[in-house]
Structure 1
Amino acid sequence: MSIRKWIFITTILSLTGTGIVQADEVGPDQAMQLLQEGKIQSFKKLNEAALAKHPGATVEETELEKEYGGYVYTVELQDTQGTQWEVELDPASGDVIRDRQED
């Protein structure tokens, strides 16, 4: 492999890890349309699914993004001990994709 090709691939991979390449935030109008079309669940249901992972926590922030041709709903939580959590869900099914403690 040429050095030029290697640099190109390395650059693309590093950008992908930062979220610059693959994620686009979904605005309120588009989210409402997706909900009406039955492509995503209500944010209330998705928030409840995230809170079920951390009973007693509070929702700090939410975000719906289009990633890799699909959608991901992210909920940032703070539990009763003050620990921050990020829960990613499939907005169509409500299944938890990732549940991780924030640094």
Structure 2
Amino acid sequence: MNILTAVFAATALAVTAGYAQAKDLGPDEALKLRDAGTIQSFEKLNAAALAKHPNATVTDTELEQEYGKYVYQVELRDAKGVEWDVELDAVSGQVLKDHQDT
């Protein structure tokens, strides 16, 4: 029983450690980073996401710090009603992920 408990505890720690690597940044902190020139403007980042899905609309955005990088997440809805999640490097503007929301 002790081995099973240890395995369960180790698994739980590994799972929660992954979640601890991503930190949501609030609007005030995001604006400070933008104003300091640390990250690109939100307009520029939104435009990069919209370039992947022309005629879509932005439904939500979020800035996170993941593994020491600033990641800007944009949720889009295209003209057909399909939802997309686009993640960008907030410093460079490079698209990191672009996938259909399921």
**What TM-score do the two structures reach when normalised by structure 2?**
0.87
Moved more, 8-17 or 59-68: 8-17
Amino acid at match of 2:99: R
Q: Distance in 1 between matches of 2:68 and 2:9?
A: 23
Cα separation, partners in 2 of 1:69 and 1:4, compared to 1, 3 Å: farther
Specify the alignment match of 1:76 in structure 2. Answer: 75
**What TM-score do the two structures reach when normalised by structure 1?**
0.86
* Count of residues in Structure 1 that have an aligned counterpart in Structure 2: 100
1:3 is displaced (CA, Å) by 4.8
1:15 is displaced (CA, Å) by 2.6
Secondary structure in structure 1 of the residue aligned to 2:76: strand
Secondary structure in structure 1 of the residue aligned to 2:91: coil
The 4+ residue runs of structure 1 with deviation greater than 2 A are 2-9, 12-17
The structure with the larger Rg is 2
Cα separation, partners in 2 of 1:13 and 1:65, compared to 1, 3 Å: same
Give ranges in structure 2 of 5+ residues lacking alignment.
none
Amino acid at match of 2:39: I
1:89 is displaced (CA, Å) by 0.4
Q: Distance in 2 between matches of 1:26 and 1:91?
A: 12
Specify the alignment match of 1:9 in structure 2. Answer: 10
1:5 is displaced (CA, Å) by 4.6
Q: Distance in 2 between matches of 1:9 and 1:95?
A: 35
CA RMSD of aligned residues (A): 1.7
Q: Distance in 2 between matches of 1:16 and 1:82?
A: 35
Identity of aligned residues (%): 52
